[in-house]
Structures are given as structure tokens and as C-alpha cells.
């Protein structure tokens, strides 16, 4: 059953608050988005997941044309790339959570599937996790690197930066993100023990 715009906002705000309150997002450096009626609702520049509300979303179309006055997150091009290339994706979560970032800093990771699946749940909830080489956040170079890899994997770690996780809904993206971060935590703990 299709969600109303109000239900999508409620889910997005709940997800943001949950991530912030559990230390998975901090300050004003995380962003999320969802699609409704061919418009992308994305957290605005400088917004905080801990205090996020409906008025903290910028509204754009899939070409990036803006429909309200709030400046969108500088990572908007990454979100738009996901929505254009992954047609089932209707929501994206991007945070800088610690274990995902730690794992993304390791040398020699497989760019197509960089995260070990020590439990079955990462593959069940998300699939493969690609590694996007480091480029400055919000830069055209990062967008180009992401565009070159978006169709090679199901979710992504931006090296030295953080995960980008899509879903058919905000809750699906959230659940997939949770598995990615938990898998990164497990992999980090096990890396010198196996």
C-alpha cells in the first residue's frame, strides 16, 4: 500500500531521531531523502537529525530543480543518482557512523563488495556494498566516482566518509543501513581475530 506524504515524513523524522539518539549520526552532517509524486524530499543544508522536522526538508525534482526555499544537502547529487539509476529505490540514508567509516578506511577492499557478510543479514537486507574511492564531500569528483559505481553494488561506502543506503521505503533503507553498520562493527571486531 502506498504511503501518504505525511506518513513518509513521519517515518523519515523517526529514522533521523533514532539514528541521532543512538549516536549513528551527529551534528548536522547526515542526510536522508525520499521520493513522493516524482519529487525528492531531502534534508536541508545544516539540519540536524536530532531536531529534524517537516520544515527541514528541501523539495526538488529528479533534475534538481528546487520547489521551496530551503537549500538541499550538498549530497543531493548522490541521492538523485540513486533514484535515477536504482528504479526501485524511493529513499536514501547517508550518515557517517563510526564502524562503517572505520571499515571504509582499510586498504585493499573489494570495490564491488567491500564488507564481509559474517552473518546472513547484510545480504538479506541490502546485498553487496561497494566502495567509492575518497573524494571531497559534495564535490563533482565524488559525484562522478559514485556515478561510475552506482550500478555495481546494492549499497555503498564512501571511503573515509560513510554509507549511502537505498530502500523501497524509508524504513527499508533504515533497516538495510542498520545491517550495514552492524556488519561493519562485526567485521571490525573480527578483522584481527580470524
The residue from 7, 121, 134, 147 that is catalytic is 121
Active site (annotated) includes residue 135 = no
The residue from 9, 75, 99, 135 that is catalytic is 75
Length of the chain: 194
DSSP track, 165-186: EEESSHHHHHHHHHHHHHHHHH
**Site of grid cell 573524494:** 135
Active site (annotated) includes residue 75 = yes
Round to whole Å and give the CA distance between 178 and 182: 6
Residue 46 CB: number of other CB atoms within 10 A?
Answer: 12
Distance of CA 152 to the CA centre of its chain: 16
**Site of grid cell 559525484:** 143
- Residues with catalytic annotation? 75, 121
Amino acid at each position: 500500500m502506498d504511503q501518504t506524504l505525511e506518513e513518509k515524513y513521519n517515518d523519515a523524522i523517526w529514522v533521523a531521531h533514532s539514528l541521532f539518539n543512538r549516536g549513528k549520526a551527529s551534528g548536522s552532517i547526515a542526510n536522508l531523502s525520499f521520493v513522493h509524486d516524482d519529487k525528492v524530499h531531502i534534508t536541508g543544508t545544516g539540519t540536524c537529525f536530532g531536531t529534524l522536522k517537516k520544515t527541514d526538508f528541501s523539495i526538488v525534482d529528479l533534475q534538481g530543480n528546487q520547489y521551496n526555499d530551503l537549500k538541499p544537502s550538498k549530497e543531493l547529487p548522490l541521492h538523485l543518482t540513486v533514484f535515477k539509476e536504482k528504479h526501485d529505490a524511493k529513499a536514501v540514508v547517508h550518515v557517517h557512523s563510526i564502524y562503517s567509516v572505520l571499515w571504509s578506511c582499510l586498504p585493499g577492499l573489494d570495490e564491488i563488495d567491500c564488507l564481509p557478510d559474517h552473518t546472513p543479514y547484510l545480504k538479506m537486507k541490502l546485498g553487496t556494498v561497494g566502495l567509492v574511492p575518497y573524494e571531497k564531500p559534495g564535490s563533482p569528483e565524488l559525484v562522478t566516482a559514485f556515478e561510475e559505481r552506482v550500478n555495481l553494488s546494492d549499497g555503498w561506502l564512501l571511503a573515509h566518509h560513510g554509507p549511502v543506503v537505498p530502500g523501497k521505503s524509508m524504513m527499508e533503507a533504515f533497516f538495510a543501513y542498520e545491517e550495514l553498520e552492524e556488519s561493519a562493527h562485526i567485521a571490525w571486531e573480527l578483522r584481527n581475530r580470524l
